[in-house]
Chain A
């Protein structure tokens, strides 16, 4: 007979369990959101069916990728930082500054041959993101100031900078919308053949692969892991934790800044007010769900892109588009709770 149910720590976690547990808890999150949808008077099954229908088509696929690209980049940015326990929740602001640097250079910078210009746009958007992160990275590395609060405060500041430029000096003339004019067509990254998918996706995939090899195959990646596990041990081993903190946070910002490049060179070819639209926060959820693995971030980023476009589609049947953020938040909450079952198992003492 089984009595006295209790939790026991697992000694090891199988690969299957590591994948299955989050999947089950994501499904539970959808069930929970279904109740909430029902509570506000929608039919959850109809809503979910409509969402699936939106995504399961070729145009749904390409639009999910398009919406997912900035999310993949912010997801990569957040997971890169968290690999060293640095909580960069400023990807929104870094994305904003990256996009501003990129559009500023594209519209007002020197005229150049297209490949060179695009390369420079790539670099300046990384620079923008890195600078945005540096303002938090320096006090963190030098004086140990809490990077979570710093990066968060910077989000608001950079979004105000963006707001100022979009409604002010950089606003497209004779237009109602707060946005810049489009960049010249010769600076656009081409689509992949006639697929309708922009080639900037390859850039994102390349970065994820590079990051994967960085973590698994390089000394720097190894040093990051040592610092994550024990900053003190790393210090004794002669690693400079402060320097690593500075570099990792700035690199994380640079990756988030690239989301600006992806938009300007690949997707919308201009910058609009509030372009990041919370991508930095979604990036946190993505990074966590992907277990900080850059390759998995690509997949999860794509799925969250699909979630966003399907949330826009269900607006037509009277569901607020905020349903996407609600589902994201619920997923995050449920998966955090689910983590527990990877570490513990329920056992009953046999009598």
Chain B
């Protein structure tokens, strides 16, 4: 394998990983707090379209990201309202978020569908580091959203496992009643983490439309929200493990494209389907309870907290 090919595989795998990792880390926090949001795909599409619209009409990436964050926060608040305050079924609410986001993004994005924004997050080479052979150009000649992801992964690990707030977060998904007795506001904390998760998911969408494919079309995240949900489950709710999973998926999808040029007789659809096949296989092998293995899911996941039922 030539060095340039290797560099292109690693660097594309890293960008691909960024498209799903923001959402996966956000969802890990949300599920650790006890709320499962299956509407990631819809929120991601809303993030992707709102960011792209601002990029087209205002030509300003900072403003685009601010709008994306606001959209994510708004959708997160709606989802928390349904699942925390109204105690609605989380699966059904997730489906509602999915259809709402898919439909609304398609409707709003009609005007920018196929329009070239001529604006995207361009790679910025980091001095010195980017000169390291192979790893330099593939890891340190990336756009700012990827660099931000490099920071978020270790920070989220430290937050979850090394801080007091992280300990409270983990308790929130395991035994909210105990936290409530200790004087913490379970509802407010769940609102905060669900909204945080939704913001991260919207950012994931913006990574797709502004740093990965650089266009908008209907349903263009093509299942990345679901791959993020799958990553959460098979990483056993651990951001670092999710990162390795995301890189693996990135590598699979890019290698598919490269292998395709070597075997032109194989239909292109086979390679396009690869990431989904990989998700199914990985999900079965990592989360199937063979010989009575126990799930690592937070104990209170999907159970609405109701003070009357304490």
B103 at interface by CB-CB < 8 Å: yes
Interface members, chain A 109-154 (any B CB < 8 Å): 135, 139, 142-146, 148-150, 152-154
* Given contact pairs A139-B288, A149-B279, A333 touches B233 in the complex (Cβ within 8 A): no
In the complex, which range does the number of interface residues on chain B fall in?
35 or more
* Given contact pairs A145-B284, A288-B92, A327 touches B103 in the complex (Cβ within 8 A): yes
B58 at interface by CB-CB < 8 Å: no
Q: Indicate if the CB atoms of A281 and B288 lie closer than 8 Å.
A: no
**Interface of chain B, helix or strand or loop or mixed?**
helix
A160 at interface by CB-CB < 8 Å: yes
Q: Which of B98, B100, B233, B267 contacts A149 (CB 8 A)?
A: B233
Shortest distance between the CB of B235 and any CB in chain A (Å): 13
CB contacts (< 8 Å) of A324 on chain B: these are: 103
A36 at interface by CB-CB < 8 Å: yes
Q: Indicate if the CB atoms of A160 and B96 lie closer than 8 Å.
A: no
How far is A149 from B287 in the complex, measured between Cα atoms in Å?
12
How far is A327 from B226 in the complex, measured between Cα atoms in Å?
23
CB contacts (< 8 Å) of B269 on chain A: these are: 160-161, 163-164
B303 at interface by CB-CB < 8 Å: no
Q: Indicate if the CB atoms of B280 and A281 lie closer than 8 Å.
A: no
Which stretch of A201-209, A233-241, A336-344 is in the interface?
A336-344
Q: Count residues of chain A with CB under 8 A from any CB of chain B.
A: 48
Residue of A nearest to B83 (CB): A336
Q: Which of A87, A160, A161, A329 contacts B103 (CB 8 A)?
A: A329
Q: Indicate if the CB atoms of B102 and A329 lie closer than 8 Å.
A: yes
* Given contact pairs A157-B276, A160-B272, A337-B88, A284 touches B233 in the complex (Cβ within 8 A): no
B250 at interface by CB-CB < 8 Å: no
CB contacts (< 8 Å) of B270 on chain A: these are: 160, 164
CB contacts (< 8 Å) of A285 on chain B: these are: 95, 99
Interface members, chain A 277-317 (any B CB < 8 Å): 281-282, 284-285, 288
A214 at interface by CB-CB < 8 Å: no
Residues of A within 8 A of B (CB): 9, 36, 40, 87, 89, 135, 139, 142-146, 148-150, 152-157, 160-161, 163-164, 168, 281-282, 284-285, 288, 320, 322-330, 332-333, 335-337, 339-340
30 of the cross-chain contacts (CB-CB < 8 Å) are: A9-B308, A40-B107, A87-B95, A139-B284, A143-B288, A143-B289, A144-B287, A144-B295, A145-B283, A145-B284, A145-B287, A146-B233, A152-B226, A153-B277, A153-B279, A153-B280, A153-B283, A160-B269, A164-B269, A164-B270, A282-B99, A320-B107, A325-B102, A329-B99, A332-B99, A333-B96, A333-B97, A333-B99, A337-B81, A337-B88
